[in-house]
Amino acid sequence: MAHPGDLSALAGLIAAGTIRAGDVRAVIGKTEGNGGLNDFTRGFFTQSLMLLLARHTGEAPEALAARIPCVLSGGTEGALSPHYMVFAVARDRGGASGLALGSAFSPPTQAGEIGRVAQIEAVSAAVRAAMADAGIARAEDVALVQVKAPCALAPGPEARSGDPRMLMALSRAAAAFGAGIAIGDIAPEAGTEAALLRDVQHFSSRVSISSGIEVTCNEVVVIGRAAGWTPGITAGVAPMRDLLDLDGVIAACRAAGLEASPAVADRSRVLGVIAKGEPDKAGHIRGARHTMLGDTDIDAQRHLRGALGAIVAAVTGDGQVFVSGGAEHQGPPGGGLVCIFARE
């Protein structure tokens, strides 16, 4: 991507007939903004995407945005490169079993519902709907749940927090709980408002959440294995116990059928990478103090994305990695998760 609105690569694939615009089901990408509340590169990309698809499908951009999740994370610090992954489903798909994709949208989420049981339940229902959309019958067959959750730039008194940054974290936490409950990684009775951001022992290593003001509901993408989908693509997921967990990255590669020791041997098979992480809240990594949380010049999540991105990219051999900070209840505390998409 030459800039946040650069859709020329997708436009070229559509023009060449490689991808049909009507087959696009979801987009996940990184833009070069700051990744914060005032990161408008995400909205710029979404607008550009929907306008492109509208020209080729005849649908209104608003209608496309209401059915195609566009999950964006801002911030391409360090070795990270702006990019986007397009998930398209061919109409003539078919096979015994393969990687499946489903999507769903929750009802519009009000500021007063963010970080509350209402959001947990809404995300859980949307994840189950996305599983049904993909034909994934068993929760254990889900490889990854990706959610874009809403936030409020200027939350009113009805909001759980008047701090927009805290509300963003609560939104990620509630969405993580909802998704984790839906796929059986978190017990339903654990999904309370008091548990969010506190009971860190409740997490899912198959859930990735981003939050932003550019969406008004919870947009859900579920990826896993199901019957009736053409084989050829696989997804490998593994937790990272901390920011330096190189073995976790390698485990995700191997789960996707890629040999890595530590670098991936056949990089041409790597189709996309998603990673979640967070600075350890205790201020230490393996006994050594880190300063990410106390830096007033650079946001802790920007530190995190630069460091985690370099570690993952060194293994996959490409800076086009979807690295997202804010891993509340997503992977082990102080750690995170990695998902690798690869050709079989």
Tell me which residues are annotated as active site: 148, 210
Nearest Cα neighbor of 103 from 63, 148, 72 is 148
Residue 332 assigned as binding residue: yes
Residue 319 assigned as binding residue: no
CA of 209: how far to CAs of 8, 219, 306, 341, in Å? 27, 10, 18, 18
Residue 112 assigned as binding residue: no
Residue 176 assigned as binding residue: no
Residue 327 assigned as binding residue: yes
Residue 164 assigned as binding residue: no
List the beta bridge partners of residue 343. Answer: 233
Mind giving me the DSSP string for 92-157?
T---SEEEEEEEEEPSPPPGGGTTSHHHHHHHHHHHHHHHHHHT---GGGEEEEEEEEE--SS--T
Residue the block writes with tokens 């974290």? 169
Identity of the amino acid at 328: E
Phi and psi for 108 in degrees, rounded to 5? -50, 135
Residue 146 assigned as binding residue: no
Residue 211 assigned as binding residue: yes
Residue 278 assigned as binding residue: yes
Phi and psi for 329 in degrees, rounded to 5? 65, 20
Residue 110 assigned as binding residue: no
Instruction: Provide the annotated binding site for substrate.
Output: 42, 73-74, 172, 210-211, 305, 324-325
Binding-site entries: 42, 73-74, 172, 210-211, 278, 305, 324-325, 327, 330-332, 335
- Binding residue positions for Mg(2+): 278, 327, 330-332, 335
